[in-house]
A and B are shown apart, each in its own frame.
Chain A
C-alpha cells in the first residue's frame, strides 16, 4: 500500500535551517509529483511547492521563493524539503503529499517544526 513516512519533530533556533525527509513506498516513486504543505498551529493549509521528478523541476509559492529547496533521492525513494532562515512564524506541521496531477491523494503523517530561541 502507498505510504509516505516523514522524519521526526525538530526544534530550531531563528536563522537556522531545517531539512525534512519523506520516504515513499508502495508505488513507482518517479511517476508522481511530490508537494509540500504546511499548517501553523490553529491555522489553515499553506501550499509551499512541488517537485516534478520527470524534468526534475520545482515550483514554489511566492512566499517561499528563495528559502525552500526541494530534492529527490531516487535510490531511496525519499523526497526532502529544506527551509532556511527560519523565523518564529515558520513554526508549523509540514506535510509531504503525493499528486497524480489532480489533488493530493496520499499524505505523510506530518513533521512538527518548532522555531524558538
Chain B
C-alpha cells in the first residue's frame, strides 16, 4: 500500500497570505495525485487531479505541482473560505490512499 505523508499538520496563516502544502508518497505515483478540500460537516471537494489540473469551477488561486513522490498544493492569496482541511489522494495503484490531512487555520 502506498503511504502518503502530508506536511505540515497545521498551517496558521492570515487572509491574503500564500499557503504551501506538501504531500510525499512512499513510492512513485507518477502524476496520479489529487487534492481535496473539506469543511466541517461537508463531503470533500475535488480541487486538483493529475497533480496539476484544476477541477471544474476551482479558482485559479489553487495550483498543484509535482510528480513521482513529491507534490505541492499552493493557494496564492488565502480567501476566508479557504480555511479548511486539505487532503491528498493517490490513485496510481489498484488501491487508492489518502494522506492524513493538513489543516489551514486563521492566524
C-alpha gap A107/B43 in the complex (Å): 7
Q: Are A107 and B98 neighbours in the complex by a CB distance under 8 Å?
A: no
Please, what's the 1-or-0 string for A21-37, where 1 marks a CB less than 8 Å from any CB in chain B? 00000000000000101
> Which of the 9-residue segments B21-29, B76-84, B89-97 touches chain A?
B89-97
Cβ-neighbour of B95 out of A59, A97, A101, A110 (below 8 A): A59
Q: Of B49, B53, B95, B100, which contacts A62 at CB under 8 A? A: B95
Q: A108 and B95 in contact (CB under 8 A), knowing A102-B49, A103-B34?
A: no
Q: Which of A7-15, A45-53, A67-75, A83-91 contacts B (4 or more CB under 8 A)?
A: A45-53
On chain B, the number of residues with a Cβ less than 8 Å from chain A's Cβ atoms is 26
B46 touches which one: A104, A108, A109 (CB < 8 A)? A104
Q: Are A47 and B95 in contact (CB under 8 A)?
A: yes
Per the bound structure, the CA–CA distance linking A7 and B48 in Å amounts to 28
Binding site for A on B (CB under 8 A): 1, 32, 34, 36, 38, 43-46, 48-50, 53, 55-56, 87, 89, 91, 94-101
Residues of chain A having any CB pair with chain B under 8 Å: 35, 37, 44-47, 50, 59-62, 95, 97, 99, 101-105, 107-110
